Amino acid sequence: MLLLTMGAALLGAALGSTHAQNSAPIPAPRAQSARATTVPGSGATFTVQGVPLPSGFRHAFALALNNKGHVLFVAHKGAQARADDGDVLHLWTGDTPRALPLPRGFKTGELASSVGRSCLADDGRIAMNTFLGQGALFYSGGRFTPIAFPNLDIFIQNCAPDLSAVASDLNTAQSYLWTPTTGEVRQGTFEGVNDINRAGQFVADIALQRAEGTFTVDRKQWQPKFINEAGLVLGEDVAGDGATLYLWPAGEKQPTQVQRPAGTEAVFPQDLNEKGQALVGYLDDQFVYTHATRTYRPIRVTGWKLQVVLALNDQGWVLAQATQTGQKAVRTVLLKPK
């Protein structure tokens, strides 16, 4: 409890006080990109485990993954893979998926929207966006309750392992911190906060904060997107051309550019786990990057066509959506390294 309280206080102070005036520029990245190895080969590198479709449903849209391999997804009954208000939220923990009805009046037609991110903690609690002017929800103890953000255009961007969440106003980029233990919502100074960890360290479009202090971001170079419990920061080119990744481990004096995978035209970060592994890619080229070895492992499967990869857990499992060869049904799947 002390850690949670201190983390929330630290982030609240950083987002909402004079830290913006006392921050220093992030040190410039190293002049030369760090070399990275792409694992060679052409065969499947991951196995595919399909999340069971609930009875009566034909498609499943993935939402969130935790470290136990539990999956939050939306099931759809229609023949076409188009979300509608007949969709039903489900949680899969290894057996038959369990339906999670939303509160009365909440619709399910846009739960799988790509704006923001929904979060599934290892203890089964959920923080999720609902869209359609309905606001975000918190699931705990078998029931959903609304998160008291100031308006309905505020969307969760990411969560720490304890489910503390950062959110942004879609219209103004105003940032907010939500703490699940108290339900408190704090307004921040920095715009566009992207991620936090349990210590309250955060990364935003224009700033980041770690144990070393609060830093302003040179948006002409790169933009931080993720931070893990060890303080490792993962970011991308601000230019948006996907030329390289940027990583800044805690304790190092400056960020490092990392070459993109061999044979690719671009690379963008999509998730970061606590093992220092990142889910990255562009279009049909997807990889798990391990910073300790500076190695890209291609994500290749047989018998399925991947549509999108969404999340990476600490076991190195990847949450994705895919269609099986010869079939049209969109499925939620877990990819596990071979």
Query: What tens digit of pLDDT does each residue of 126-178 get?
Result: 999 998 789 999 999 999 999 999 999 999 999 999 999 999 999 999 999 99
Mean pLDDT score, 297-326: 97
Q: What is the pLDDT of residue 327?
A: 95
Tell me how far apart the alpha carbons of residues 79 and 230 are, in angstroms, rounded to a whole number.
45
pLDDT for residue 55 is more than 50: yes
Tell me how far apart the alpha carbons of residues 295 and 298 are, in angstroms, rounded to a whole number.
10
Is residue 22 very low, low, confident or very high in pLDDT (cuts 50, 70, 90)?
low
pLDDT for residue 8 is more than 70: no
Q: What is the pLDDT of residue 3?
A: 31
Is residue 283 very low, low, confident or very high in pLDDT (cuts 50, 70, 90)?
confident
Is there a contact between 204 and 191 (Cβ–Cβ < 8 Å)?
yes
CA of 314: how far to CAs of 4, 161, 230, 271, 288, in Å?
A: 21, 11, 13, 11, 12
Q: Tens of pLDDT along 177-219?
A: 999 999 999 998 888 999 999 999 999 988 999 999 999 988 8
The three state secondary structure string of the chain is: CHHHHHHHHHHHHHHHCCHHHHCEECCCCCCCCECCEECCCCCCCEEEEECCCCCCCCEEEEEEECCCCCEEEEEECCCCCCCCCCCEEEEECCCCCEECCCCCCCCCCCCCCCCCCCEECCCCCEEECCCCCCCCEEEECCEEEECCCCCCCEEEEEECCCCCEEEEECCCCCEEEECCCCCCEEECCCCCEEEECCCCCEEECCEEEECCEEEECCCCCEEEEEECCCCCEEEEECCCCCCEEEEECCCCCCCEEEECCCCCCCCEEEEECCCCEEEEEECCEEEEEECCCCEEEECCCCCEEEEEEEEECCCCCEEEEEEECCCCCEEEEEEEEC
pLDDT for residue 4 is more than 80: no
Mean pLDDT score, 45-65: 97
Mean pLDDT score, 260-267: 90
As a whole number, the mean pLDDT across the chain is: 90
Q: What is the pLDDT of residue 33?
A: 80
pLDDT for residue 299 is more than 80: yes
pTM of the model: 0.92
Q: What is the pLDDT of residue 220?
A: 82
Is residue 239 very low, low, confident or very high in pLDDT (cuts 50, 70, 90)?
low
CA of 66: how far to CAs of 103, 113, 149, 256, 282, in Å?
A: 23, 19, 24, 29, 23
Mean pLDDT score, 293-315: 97
Q: What is the pLDDT of residue 31?
A: 67
Query: Which domains does the chain show, CATH number per domain?
Result: 2-337 (2.130.10.10)
Query: Taken in order 119, 120, 121, 125, is the CA torsion positive or negative?
Result: positive
Tell me how far apart the alpha carbons of residues 220 and 242 are, in angstroms, rounded to a whole number.
14
